[in-house]
């Protein structure tokens, strides 16, 4: 008979510097999962490993995190193990929350020793607030990955191009072109369909995916790639400024909506994991742009001359206290032990 150790384990695909892959990692600590509960697999976004056809089969968006969970509990050789892939941090966190719920622990005889706080909100009002806070920080206007690449002025472009933005954008474009060429070569050889494990239709789909992704990366590539243009750079700076303005407005909204000390009040919840990851990235970007640390860097960034107008704001007391409360969580200390990202 198969022992518990032989059972196929869930696999969480992450990248250490990723914002949204930090959400399930925060959740794992908050829920008291042990390292043996699942395997963590690294997907290097800087090398575009998330664009490999094998990864796109798991997550058709080509993003991290992905949680792959075995759905048939068997190691019998005749029955292939089946898997289900969950491809978004919101669903993954909710799944991790439910999987280690009190009734499941009790059914396993672990109920008394195991501490597994429930992260989903207990009331209708709590759920509505939680959903709206999570939607706010996941909105494209506040995309923390864009902020990392953003340039508010022409002076900011050069260091970004020589640093993280250049590495990221050029690494991704190179990987996309490499996979595109491989799949193209593959589909040119499909006269013998048995020789190719992927169908012609699947290859077509992949090629379209790579073309669309290259198109989506094109504005940043024309700033940080080898053939940057002045016009693309100016447009990118305008877009960056508008995003920084929206950040000021969003922080004012959070000041109104957060209940304190945590997002929904006294209990840590799903929303806190998403907000922790988002704040950590926002502050990391501010620290890289301003000669200041932590909330001082964020406040300085909000006062930047390129972010004039209604986006210019001071941080409110609730947001300040909220960030301190998040920083005191063991989950924060575990996930950000090497610094904010």
Ligand X SMILES: N[C@@H](CCC(=O)N[C@@H](CS)C(=O)NCC(=O)O)C(=O)O
Q: Which residues bind ligand X (CB under 6 A)?
A: 18-21, 45, 50, 62-65, 88-90, 138, 145
Q: How far is the CB of 12 from ligand X (least distance, A)?
A: 12
The nearer residue to ligand X, 104 or 167, going by C-beta atoms, is 167
Q: How far is the CB of 336 from ligand X (least distance, A)?
A: 15
Q: 81, 284, 303, 52: which is closest to 164 by C-alpha? A: 284
Helix axes 154-162, 230-257, angle to 10 degrees: 90
The nearer residue to ligand X, 20 or 209, going by C-beta atoms, is 20
The nearer residue to ligand X, 19 or 26, going by C-beta atoms, is 19
Q: How far is the CB of 80 from ligand X (least distance, A)?
A: 27
Rounded-to-10 torsion of CA 186, 191, 193, 197: -10
The nearer residue to ligand X, 20 or 262, going by C-beta atoms, is 20
Q: How far is the CB of 154 from ligand X (least distance, A)?
A: 26
Q: How far is the CB of 284 from ligand X (least distance, A)?
A: 12
The nearer residue to ligand X, 50 or 331, going by C-beta atoms, is 50
**CA-to-CA distance for 317 and 335, rounded, in angstroms?**
25
Q: How far is the CB of 20 from ligand X (least distance, A)?
A: 4
The nearer residue to ligand X, 87 or 245, going by C-beta atoms, is 87
The nearer residue to ligand X, 30 or 105, going by C-beta atoms, is 30
Q: How far is the CB of 119 from ligand X (least distance, A)?
A: 16
- Please enumerate, as own/partner, the contacts of 68-73 that have beta carbons within 8 Å and a separation of 24 or more: 68/10, 68/11, 68/12, 68/13, 69/10, 69/95, 70/7, 70/8, 70/9, 70/10, 73/7
């Amino acid at each position: 008979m198969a022992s518990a150790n032989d059972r196929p384990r869930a696999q969480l695909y992450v990248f250490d510097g990723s914002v949204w892959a930090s959400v399930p990692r925060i959740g794992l600590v908050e829920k008291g999962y042990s390292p043996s509960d699942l395997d963590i697999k690294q997907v290097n976004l800087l090398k575009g490993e998330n664009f490999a056809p094998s990864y796109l089969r798991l997550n058709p968006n080509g993003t991290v995190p992905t949680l792959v969970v075995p759905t048939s509990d068997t190691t019998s050789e005749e029955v292939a193990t089946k898997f289900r892939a969950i491809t978004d941090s919101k669903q993954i966190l909710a799944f991790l929350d439910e999987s280690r719920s009190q009734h499941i622990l009790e059914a396993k005889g672990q109920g008394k020793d195991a501490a597994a706080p429930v992260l989903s909100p207990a009331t209708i009002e709590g759920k509505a607030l939680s959903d709206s806070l999570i939607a706010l920080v996941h909105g494209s206007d506040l995309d923390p990955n864009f902020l990392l690449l953003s340039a508010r002025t022409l002076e900011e472009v050069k260091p970004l191009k020589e640093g993280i933005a250049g590495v990221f954008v050029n690494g991704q474009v190179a990987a996309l072109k490499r996979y595109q060429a491989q799949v193209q070569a593959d589909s040119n050889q499909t006269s013998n369909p048995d020789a190719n494990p992927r169908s012609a239709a699947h290859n077509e789909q992949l090629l379209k995916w790579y073309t669309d992704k290259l198109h989506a990366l094109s504005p940043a590539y024309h700033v940080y790639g080898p053939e940057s243009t002045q016009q693309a750079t100016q447009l990118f700076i305008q877009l960056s400024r508008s995003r920084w303005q929206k950040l000021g407005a969003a922080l004012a909204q959070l000041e109104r909506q957060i209940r304190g000390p945590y997002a929904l009040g006294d209990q840590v919840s799903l929303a806190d994991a998403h907000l922790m990851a988002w704040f950590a990235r926002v502050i990391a970007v501010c620290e890289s742009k301003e000669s200041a640390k932590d909330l001082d860097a964020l406040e300085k960034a909000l006062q930047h001359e390129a972010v004039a107008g209604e986006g210019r704001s001071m941080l409110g007391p609730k947001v300040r206290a909220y960030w301190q409360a998040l920083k005191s969580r063991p989950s924060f200390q575990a996930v950000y032990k090497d610094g904010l990202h």
